[in-house]
C-alpha cells in the first residue's frame, strides 16, 4: 500500500505523508513510503507492517543529503507517539541517521542501546556500533518519540552519517494520537 502523497483518515483526522529529496546523489527506493515487514533479530521476517523510509546513495553520504518526510495532520493532534525502528550501520557503506524538526516539542523514550544522539539536527540519532547483521529491527536499534502538546506536522530528516553509499532504510510504526471531536 503506497502512502506517498496520499491522505489517509485515522478516525476523524486526516494524515498525509510526503517525501522530498535533500541534496544530491540519493534516489528513493520503490519501497519508500510503503508498508514493509522488516526482518527482526536473527534475520527472521517480522510480523508487523511498518512504514519504510528507504533510499539508495551512489556516492559518499553526509548531511544534508537524504530525504525529508513530512507527516501532516489536517488538525492538531495530542499525545502523538511513534517508534522509529532499524537504525543500522554497515562497516563501509552507510550509517543511518535521523532527526526530527517540528514546531512542537518531543521527548524520546525507549532509546535502544545501539543509538546515540537525541534526534535533533545538532545531535541526530545514529548507531554507535556496526549492527547491520543483527536484523533490521531490534529493541537495541529503535527509539520511541512522544509529543504531548498539539502537533500539526513534523519532518523526519533521514540520511547516512557516513560511508561510501548504498541502500538503507528505517521504519515507522506504532503511531498513536488523540484528537478532540
Domains held by the chain: number: 1
Closest CA to 31 of 69, 76, 1: 1
> Grid coordinates standing for 21?
529529496
**pTM score:** 0.84
Give Cβ neighbours of residue 147 (< 8 Å, ≥ 6 apart): 79, 80, 81, 102, 104, 105, 106, 154
CATH of the domain at 169: 2.60.120
Average pLDDT over residues 167-174: 84
3-state secondary structure of 140: helix
105: domain range?
7-178
Residue 140 lies in a domain: yes
Residue 86 lies in a domain: yes
Average pLDDT, the chain: 79
Q: Which of 28-42, 77-91, 154-168 reaches the highest mean pLDDT?
A: 77-91
Residue 2 lies in a domain: no
Residue 1 lies in a domain: no
Query: Distance between CA 10 and CA 87 in Å, rounded?
Result: 27
- For cell 546513495, the residue is 57
Are 181 and 83 in contact by the 8 Å Cβ rule? The answer is no
Helix (H) or strand (E) holding 101: strand 96-101
Lowest pLDDT segment from 5-14, 77-86, 166-175: 5-14
Q: Is the pLDDT of residue 41 over 60?
A: no
Q: Is the pLDDT of residue 42 over 60?
A: no
Q: Is the pLDDT of residue 36 over 70?
A: no
Residue 148 lies in a domain: yes
Amino acid at each position: 500500500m503506497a502512502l506517498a502523497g496520499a491522505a489517509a483518515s485515522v478516525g476523524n483526522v486526516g494524515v498525509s505523508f510526503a517525501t522530498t529529496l535533500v541534496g544530491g546523489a540519493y534516489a528513493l527506493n520503490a519501497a519508500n513510503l510503503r508498508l514493509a515487514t522488516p526482518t527482526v533479530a536473527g534475520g527472521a521476517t517480522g510480523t508487523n507492517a511498518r512504514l519504510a523510509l528507504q533510499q539508495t546513495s551512489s556516492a559518499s553520504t553526509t548531511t544534508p543529503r537524504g530525504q525529508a518526510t513530512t507527516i501532516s495532520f489536517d488538525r492538531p493532534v495530542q499525545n502523538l507517539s511513534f517508534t522509529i525502528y532499524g537504525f543500522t550501520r554497515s562497516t563501509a557503506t552507510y550509517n543511518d541517521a535521523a532527526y526530527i524538526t517540528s514546531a512542537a516539542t518531543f521527548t524520546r523514550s525507549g532509546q535502544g542501546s545501539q543509538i546515540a544522539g537525541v534526534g535533533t539536527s545538532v545531535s541526530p540519532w545514529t548507531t554507535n556500533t556496526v549492527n547491520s547483521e543483527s536484523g533490521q529491527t531490534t529493541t537495541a536499534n529503535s527509539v520511541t518519540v512522544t509529543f504531548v502538546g498539539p502537533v500539526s506536522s513534523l519532518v523526519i530528516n533521514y540520511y547516512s552519517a557516513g560511508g561510501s553509499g548504498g541502500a538503507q532504510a528505517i521504519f515507522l510504526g506504532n503511531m498513536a494520537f488523540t484528537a478532540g471531536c
